[in-house]
A and B are shown apart, each in its own frame.
Chain A
Amino acid sequence: MAFPGARKIATIELRTDRDVAKARSRVSEIMKAKGSRDLMTTRFVTAVSEIARNAATHGKGGRLLVYDMPDPRLIGVECVDEGSGIEDVERAMVDGYSTRQNSLGRGLGGAKRLAKTFTIESTPGKGTVVRMTGICTTR
């Protein structure tokens, strides 16, 4: 179970840039339905965009699962890919580090700062799982 007591409400396949856009608009819709404020939505959707793109490009495709959390003020997502995995997770989290030249290298670190909680598990050769929760409303 990704999050104890959580209920899965959506699954989005991630293969192309278009799927990443779909994931963003889907998560944004769900958060709005939960009464999320614009700022909260923008922040979390941006974080989702980062990890979804990682799965689509580095992970050779994956899935984004969206969860209703036991705490109704929160939203949870789990991004799973079966790509090459990350050799050194701690280093990947550091801003400015990237395996590609044309990248700012701030995706993972940025996503962590934008989300409420952030965990990453990666096994080289097997794939990566990122779990994040975001705040929709403070009330």
Chain B
Amino acid sequence: MTEKVLENTLEALKEDAEGILREWIDQADEDGAKRSDLFSEKEERDQAASMLRAFRLGVRDTSREGDFDLRDEHWADLRGILAEVTHERVERGVLPGEMAAFVLALKTPLFGRLTEKLKGQPDRLIEEVLVVSKAIDAFALYTNEIFIAEREQIIERQRDEMLELSTPVVELWDKVLTLPLIGTLDSLRAQEVMESLLQAIVERQAEVVIVDITGVKTVDTQVAQHLLRTAAAVRLMGARCIISGISPKIAQTMVELGVDVGEVRTRSSIKNALTDALTSVGVAIRSIEDSPRTRK
């Protein structure tokens, strides 16, 4: 009995693949899973047709082995096509639910045909409907898994991009650099920060470096350690390091932690730090009225 479990489904797929395909797309349309705004009739049809073809091949081999498991070798084709179609749909902005609904809509034409074929054999009908249903549900879930995997890749990529973006060394004035730190300063980031900062000191022949931690929420012993080490390295390069943006609450917390900043200069705001830095390179910022215009 079990070795023939999908016999009638296979037969229906052989007899009337065109009809099933048409009804499937119509049903998807009715369920609101068809995105005519994103895909042309033909694209939609081609995608559905290739999925149906792979489904048929899978069903053919399943009916021999009897058991259903999406991870089986003979479903590899369908898995590949589902991944491809889902990927294309993600790119165009189809929602995960819509993709799943599209796959699920295949049930309607298949069940209709099974009901006709197995008229008078309710036991067989239920059995076969159950297996087909289980298979199609698994495919729908699979498309969701693909969606999630795609999203995770995007998140991972964005995180890497942010990590790189978040260590910009900016030249504020000749020989004055600033490095605004944002977010968390874990060991990996601290290493990157240190490298790009020291490199910039050489390239720009900097004398003063302002490390601004206004955007760092928590300064624990590890962060403090990284900051002090960075400052020490900057000093070894012959430049001065000013740490700015230490808020009152961070100052109090650092005292409780017993962090000693030693000789490292600190300032509460980047404004104060900039004034300091400019003074030490012999420049000052003044309002326009005070200074005589050099031109007419």
User: Are A49 and B186 CB-contacts (below 8 A) given A42-B249, A43-B252, A114-B253?
Assistant: no
Chain B residues in 8 Å Cβ range of A102? 225
Judged by a CB distance under 8 angstroms, whether B257 is at the interface is: yes
State which of B188, B225, B256 has its C-beta within 8 Å of the C-beta of A43: B256
Judged by a CB distance under 8 angstroms, whether A109 is at the interface is: yes
User: Are A46 and B225 CB-contacts (below 8 A) given A18-B186, A109-B258, A110-B258?
Assistant: no
B186 with A21: CB separation less than 8 A:
yes
A103 with B253: CB separation less than 8 A:
no
B256 with A114: CB separation less than 8 A:
yes
Chain A residues in 8 Å Cβ range of B259? 104, 106, 110
A107 to B222 alpha-carbon distance, docked (Å): 8
Judged by a CB distance under 8 angstroms, whether A121 is at the interface is: no
Chain B residues in 8 Å Cβ range of A87? none
A17 to B218 alpha-carbon distance, docked (Å): 13
Indicate with 1 or 0, residue by residue over B31-46, a CB within 8 angstroms of chain A CB atoms.
0000000000000000
State which of B187, B219, B220, B252 has its C-beta within 8 Å of the C-beta of A107: B220
Classify chain A's interface size: 20 to 34
State which of B187, B218, B248, B256 has its C-beta within 8 Å of the C-beta of A49: B218
B interface, by DSSP: helix, strand, loop or mixed? helix
User: From residue A23, how far is it (CB to closest CB) to chain B in Å?
Assistant: 11
A38 to B248 alpha-carbon distance, docked (Å): 10
Chain A residues in 8 Å Cβ range of B256? 43, 110, 113-114
B250 with A42: CB separation less than 8 A:
yes
Chain B residues in 8 Å Cβ range of A24? 184, 217-218
Judged by a CB distance under 8 angstroms, whether A50 is at the interface is: yes
B221 with A107: CB separation less than 8 A:
yes
Judged by a CB distance under 8 angstroms, whether A28 is at the interface is: yes
A17 to B256 alpha-carbon distance, docked (Å): 23
A49 to B221 alpha-carbon distance, docked (Å): 9
A95 with B258: CB separation less than 8 A:
yes
How many CB-defined contacts (below 8 Å) exist between A and B?
Answer: 70
Chain A residues in 8 Å Cβ range of B249? 38-39, 42-43
Task: Determine the residue in chain B with the shortest Cβ distance to A53.
Answer: B222
Indicate with 1 or 0, residue by residue over A14-27, a CB within 8 angstroms of chain B CB atoms.
00011011001000
Chain B residues in 8 Å Cβ range of A42? 217-218, 249-250, 252-253
State which of B188, B217, B221, B252 has its C-beta within 8 Å of the C-beta of A103: B221
Judged by a CB distance under 8 angstroms, whether B85 is at the interface is: no
A50 to B256 alpha-carbon distance, docked (Å): 13
Judged by a CB distance under 8 angstroms, whether A45 is at the interface is: yes
A49 to B224 alpha-carbon distance, docked (Å): 12
User: Are A110 and B257 CB-contacts (below 8 A) given A42-B249, A46-B220?
Assistant: yes
A106 to B253 alpha-carbon distance, docked (Å): 12
Task: Determine the residue in chain B with the shortest Cβ distance to A37.
Answer: B249
State which of A21, A38, A43, A106 has its C-beta within 8 Å of the C-beta of B184: A21
B253 with A104: CB separation less than 8 A:
no
Indicate with 1 or 0, residue by residue over B207-239, a CB within 8 angstroms of chain A CB atoms.
000000000011111101100000000000000
B250 with A104: CB separation less than 8 A:
no
> Which B residues between 234 and 276 are near A, CB-CB below 8 angstroms?
248-250, 252-253, 256-259
Task: Determine the residue in chain B with the shortest Cβ distance to A24.
Answer: B218
A17 to B225 alpha-carbon distance, docked (Å): 15
> Which A residues between 20 and 75 are near B, CB-CB below 8 angstroms?
20-21, 24, 28, 38-39, 42-43, 45-46, 49-50, 53
Known: A49-B220, A104-B221, A109-B258. 15 other contacts (CB 8 A): A39-B249, A42-B249, A42-B250, A42-B252, A42-B253, A43-B249, A43-B252, A45-B218, A46-B220, A50-B221, A103-B222, A104-B258, A106-B257, A107-B222, A110-B257
List 15 A-B pairs, Cβ < 8 Å.
A17-B184, A24-B184, A24-B217, A46-B219, A50-B220, A53-B222, A95-B258, A103-B221, A103-B225, A104-B221, A104-B258, A107-B221, A109-B258, A110-B221, A113-B258
Closest CB pairs A-B (n = 4): A110-B257, A17-B186, A49-B220, A42-B249
